[in-house]
Chains A and B, each alone.
Chain A
Amino acid sequence: MANLLIDGNDSGIELDEEGYLVDLSSWTPEIANALAETDEPPVDLSEQHWAIITFLREYYEEYQIAPAVRVLTKAVGKKMGRKYGNSKYLYSLFPYGPGKQACKYAGLPKPTGCV
């Protein structure tokens, strides 16, 4: 239950015990960068990461939930070319799993259940 650090300073933005935003509506791109930078190990968000994060946010806005892995891989394939439309590519960007790690940076709730 710490607050998010932005450039080493306490931003006052509350995270839950697993590092997800408590108030999802407070998300900004700056917060995504800070979440990635303070992750263990730290991640420097590239254009490729942002393409995923942007899709996740769009999907979440429409459906109030993170997309299924297959929905995500298909969307990435459509947008960036077929060779990127697979979970291997997504894991190369988000090694802890696109579902959980990418959702964290994108300010989505963590996917729960037997996943």
Chain B
Amino acid sequence: MADYEIPKVTGETGKLAVPAVEHDTMKGTGPWISKPHFQKEMHFPTDFEQIGGTTKYTLVDNWKERALDKLDDLRTRYRSLQVYLDICVKCGACTDKCHYFIGTADAKNMPVARQDLLRKVYRRYFTFAGKYFPKLVGAVDLTEDVVDDWYNYYHQCSQCRRCSVFCPYGIDTAEISMAAREILDHIGRGQKYCTEIMGKVHKIGNNLGLPQAALADTLEGLEEDVEWETGAKVKFPLDKKGADILLITPSADFFAEPHVDGLMGYAKVFHQAGLDWTLSSYASEGANFGMFIGSYENMRRIALRIRKAAQDLGVKRIVFGECGHAWRVAYSFLNTLAGPFDFLDPKYPVPQHVLEITWPLLQAGKLNIDKTRNDDKTLTFHDSCNIARGTRMGDKPGGQFDIPRNVIKAVCNNYVDMNQDTTHDATFCCGGGGGILTDDLMEIRVKGAAPRMEALKNVTENQGVTHMAAICAICKSQFTKVIPYYGFTMDQIVSVHQLVSNALILEGQLEYEKIERDEDDFY
């Protein structure tokens, strides 16, 4: 299945042992490099070119000076970055906390070492000791080899921030990875996966490049499917002016499985609760890849599409679907990126998560639930890193952990948590977050999933767990792709709202056998 070794998981404890440090096990050339025309869409420099007949590229002219200028710009613009570069005392608390280090044993995947790839250059050019006594403080010159290491290892960080939880100084490693990628984008080392996708958002409105007509056709198909299954007419409105709610969801919800089953769940909940909602073809993407590459400008351009859609459609609330990075950007940054949202109804939080709608409805008994419809499964829940460590839900601390679990337990009879060192704010990343979910990084994706796979195997073998639910499009896609490497099957990954959808009995819903169907409508 693969020409590299898959980490061994036994399921014995649910937590993998820390490997002995090795060197250069993941040395490489990094992901595919973004071509100049993708960089142009992002307003990044384009004065570099492909080296004839290879997959290699030159750097931009005066790359060294421009890289250092960018670093200087970022450290002065973001005070936090300067602080993080200065205050690390090399205590080592983070070393064994990274899923990529645990899965690869590569020394440079210890968070402190990965950060130091940038820090040692910062020290050389921006600190007194580094300028005059570089060897004493581990400062090095910026060379092409250093750039190659940056490109390779900063794309072996999913910016999940697990290491930050354990850092006694609170250094946000993700911010250092983001800064490094922003510098790389300014010297001809952008990552194709992220920039190609964002170009599509800027042009069409979503990561897939799904135009309005295709989206409308897809949604119409989903209406047919729900009617086929339930006999009820549930609408999936698109660009409906004057609707109350604008739903912003990852475009993977339109395209992939099990994501689409979650989208059908949101639609059923809205329908049953009598909520007037719509999707927007202009802002048909929740995920904001601008965060992955540390580009404030591109993150803002994407966020402003949401603002414009909300104003054009005249909605009262903005609700986000199951997407980890969307919720992080929305919860933490939407107001400063694209606010103020004083045109929305102040009765509701801005923004709101779809689970913050479903959970109160379940509590109030407003959804007719038949839990036995999920009795063929025993569930566990994967906390998505950006939701767990970067956001909150509801009005109580820890809501981002409790609300998804409460919803699952309200619609399923069988639920088990994984090893507590791998859940809540200690959750392990799926291995595909932060711009890593691309085919050219499959090895690091497979290896980085190992800690979660061990935890999952532990509960499947000992507690009868059959399915793992997630509330992030990346987690769902990453797991469906990599769990077969560990002996699971792709259909063991489900959306939380897919479980809601299974159990929710709509008003007027008919028993499956009693639904009158025109065979031509569907199959």
Which chain A residues have a beta carbon within 8 Å of chain B's beta carbons?
Answer: 1, 17-18, 62-65, 67-71, 74, 77-78, 81-82, 85, 87, 91, 97, 99-100, 109, 111-115
Kindly list chain B residues whose C-beta atoms are within 8 Å of the C-beta of A100: 439
* Docked pose: A30 CA to B210 CA in angstroms: 28
Say how far A68's CB is from chain B's closest CB, in angstroms: 4
Q: 8 Å CB contacts to A: which residues of B177-213?
A: 192-193, 196-197, 200, 206-211, 213
* Docked pose: A64 CA to B287 CA in angstroms: 22
Kindly list chain A residues whose C-beta atoms are within 8 Å of the C-beta of B260: 68-70
* Docked pose: A67 CA to B285 CA in angstroms: 17
Contact A114 B257 (CB under 8 A): no
* Docked pose: A78 CA to B218 CA in angstroms: 16
Q: A112: which of B208, B222, B225, B254 is its contact (CB, 8 Å)? A: B208
Known: A68-B255, A114-B207. A78 touches B522 (CB 8 A): yes
Q: B206: which of A62, A63, A109, A113 is its contact (CB, 8 Å)? A: A113
Contact A1 B523 (CB under 8 A): no
Known: A64-B214, A68-B255, A77-B523. A113 touches B287 (CB 8 A): yes
Contact A74 B523 (CB under 8 A): yes
Contact A114 B474 (CB under 8 A): yes
Contact B217 A63 (CB under 8 A): yes
Contact A99 B210 (CB under 8 A): no
The closest CB in chain A to the CB of B286 belongs to: A114
Apart from the given pairs A18-B440, A97-B481, A111-B255, 12 other A-B contacts in the complex at a CB distance below 8 Å: A1-B54, A67-B214, A68-B218, A69-B260, A70-B260, A71-B218, A78-B522, A87-B257, A113-B252, A114-B207, A114-B287, A114-B474
* Docked pose: A85 CA to B256 CA in angstroms: 15
A-B contact pairs, 14 of them (CB 8 A): A63-B211, A68-B221, A70-B218, A74-B522, A74-B523, A97-B481, A99-B256, A112-B200, A113-B208, A113-B252, A113-B285, A113-B287, A113-B473, A115-B473
Q: A68: which of B32, B197, B209, B254 is its contact (CB, 8 Å)? A: B254
Kindly list chain B residues whose C-beta atoms are within 8 Å of the C-beta of A87: 257
**1/0 contact string of B488-523 vs chain A (CB within 8 Å):** 001000000000000000000000000000000011
Kindly list chain A residues whose C-beta atoms are within 8 Å of the C-beta of B285: 113
The closest CB in chain A to the CB of B52 belongs to: A1
Contact A65 B439 (CB under 8 A): no
CB contacts between A and B, total, < 8 Å: 101
Kindly list chain A residues whose C-beta atoms are within 8 Å of the C-beta of B522: 74, 77-78
Q: B197: which of A77, A81, A91, A113 is its contact (CB, 8 Å)? A: A113
The closest CB in chain B to the CB of A73 belongs to: B257
Kindly list chain A residues whose C-beta atoms are within 8 Å of the C-beta of B54: 1
Q: A115: which of B200, B217, B477 is its contact (CB, 8 Å)? A: B477
The closest CB in chain A to the CB of B193 belongs to: A112
The closest CB in chain A to the CB of B254 belongs to: A68
Task: State which size class the interface on B falls in.
Answer: 35 or more
Kindly list chain B residues whose C-beta atoms are within 8 Å of the C-beta of A1: 50, 53-55
* Docked pose: A67 CA to B323 CA in angstroms: 21
Contact B55 A65 (CB under 8 A): no
Q: B255: which of A18, A62, A69, A91 is its contact (CB, 8 Å)? A: A69
B250 at the interface (CB under 8 A from A): yes
Say how far A6's CB is from chain B's closest CB, in angstroms: 19
Nearest 7 CB-CB pairings of A with B: A113-B207, A114-B473, A63-B214, A114-B252, A82-B523, A68-B255, A115-B256
Known: A63-B214, A70-B225. A112 touches B196 (CB 8 A): yes
Contact B200 A65 (CB under 8 A): no
B173 at the interface (CB under 8 A from A): no
Q: Is the interface of A mostly helix, strand, loop or mixed?
A: loop
The closest CB in chain B to the CB of A100 belongs to: B439
* Docked pose: A91 CA to B210 CA in angstroms: 23
Kindly list chain A residues whose C-beta atoms are within 8 Å of the C-beta of B197: 112-113
The closest CB in chain B to the CB of A115 belongs to: B256
Kindly list chain B residues whose C-beta atoms are within 8 Å of the C-beta of A99: 255-256
B115 at the interface (CB under 8 A from A): no
Say how far B452's CB is from chain A's closest CB, in angstroms: 17
Interface-centre pick from B50, B214, B252 (highest chain A CB count, 10 A): B214
* Docked pose: A5 CA to B523 CA in angstroms: 39
Say how far A99's CB is from chain B's closest CB, in angstroms: 7
Say how far A105's CB is from chain B's closest CB, in angstroms: 16
B469 at the interface (CB under 8 A from A): no
Kindly list chain A residues whose C-beta atoms are within 8 Å of the C-beta of B250: 113-114
Contact B256 A71 (CB under 8 A): no
The closest CB in chain A to the CB of B224 belongs to: A74
Q: B221: which of A17, A18, A74 is its contact (CB, 8 Å)? A: A74
The closest CB in chain A to the CB of B521 belongs to: A78
* Docked pose: A114 CA to B285 CA in angstroms: 10
* Docked pose: A114 CA to B490 CA in angstroms: 16
* Docked pose: A78 CA to B207 CA in angstroms: 29
Contact A65 B208 (CB under 8 A): yes
Contact B207 A65 (CB under 8 A): no
Q: A64: which of B50, B192, B211, B440 is its contact (CB, 8 Å)? A: B211
* Docked pose: A82 CA to B521 CA in angstroms: 12
* Docked pose: A113 CA to B523 CA in angstroms: 29
Contact A114 B437 (CB under 8 A): yes
* Docked pose: A68 CA to B263 CA in angstroms: 13
B251 at the interface (CB under 8 A from A): yes
* Docked pose: A100 CA to B481 CA in angstroms: 12
Kindly list chain B residues whose C-beta atoms are within 8 Å of the C-beta of A114: 207, 250-252, 256, 287, 323, 437, 473-474, 476-477
* Docked pose: A113 CA to B207 CA in angstroms: 5
Kindly list chain B residues whose C-beta atoms are within 8 Å of the C-beta of A112: 193, 196-197, 200, 207-209
* Docked pose: A69 CA to B258 CA in angstroms: 10
